[in-house]
Chain A
Amino acid sequence: MEIKIEKKDDLTIISLVGRLDTISAEELKSEIVPLIKNGDKKIIFDFVNLDYISSAGLRILLVATKMMKEKEGLLILCNINDFINEIFEISGFNQILSITNTFEEALVNIKS
């Protein structure tokens, strides 16, 4: 999986390309945890090019969401495909994650 991180003022945009599985979840964890620890409080995950997720990926999203809540930050996911959305619904992650349909909606929500 490819992880692209872009910073714009106080906003961090993380774009994931490929598959968030057992191997790549560890790579993502090593990127996202330091960002949150260092004080990033507005993070958008753009899943437009993410094809697949397993429990390993869900674990990292849970860790990141909990850390952001503790630091009173905001993490929004957008552009989720049908398959990943189904995994979120089955696992109840759609109840604990902030999700928007488009990147533009995520941008509006995180700035408001």
Chain B
Amino acid sequence: MSNSPNILEECSIKVPNRLDYISIIQNYTKDVATKYNLDPKSIQQVEVAVEEAATNVVKHAFHINKKNEYNIICQKEPDRVVIRIRDKGIPFDPTQLSEYNPDTPLTERTAAGLGSFLIRKMVDLYEYNNLGKDGKETVLIKYLSQEGII
């Protein structure tokens, strides 16, 4: 984990690469984000972003029937909450998925890229980092409101 001097608090969980664990991750990140003073609306938005990002990991980072695990790391910095979804699976950059267009007419509309589109709208910063031998991570960042900054 990072030793950045900006990190005031940090916690993490390790979960199996299974879709039925995603709601557990969501509850965990919701509880931690609440503890880290994120406002209720932002917590709801983080909940969506976490589901989309974790689903990408489970569906694309690992072979579907091969048991594996990945980490969810929550960090509090002075002005933000950072959620890192870190795995050692197959390289896959979710930020490079096809672009979803919300104005496409129904007959031509597909849901391709919708998950990543929602993540971009739900968080303030959305990044993908290649960590070399340590795998890769999707980073979701939400800024604290004035009331949340201590």
Contact = CB atoms under 8 A, between A and B. Distances in A.
Same complex = yes
B38 to A, nearest CB: 15
Contact of B19 (A23, A55, A93): A23
B109 A62 contact: yes
A96 B110 CA distance: 12
Contacts of B110: 62
B20 interface: yes
A81 to B, nearest CB: 11
Interface stretch (B1-9, B111-119, B137-145): B111-119
A90 B48 CA distance: 13
A21 B51 contact: yes
Given A23-B23, A83-B44, A58 B109 contact: no
B106 A96 contact: yes
Q: Per DSSP, are chain A's interface residues mostly helix, strand or loop, or mixed?
A: helix
A26 to B, nearest CB: 9
Interface string A1-27: 000000000000000000101110000
A33 B40 CA distance: 35
Contacts of B121: 90
Contact of A56 (B55, B100, B104): B55
Interface residues of B, number: 26
B102 interface: yes
Interface-central residue, A23, A55, A59, A62, by most chain B CB under 10 Å: A55
Contacts of A90: 102, 118, 121
Interface string A22-44: 11000000000000000000000
B103 interface: yes
Nearest to B48: A54
A91 B55 contact: no
A88 to B, nearest CB: 10
Nearest to A60: B111
B109 A22 contact: no
Contacts of A62: 109-111
Nearest to A88: B102
Interface in B37-96: 44, 47-48, 51-52, 55
Contact of A66 (B52, B100, B104, B106): B106
A62 B100 CA distance: 14
Interface string A76-112: 0000000100010011110110000000000000000
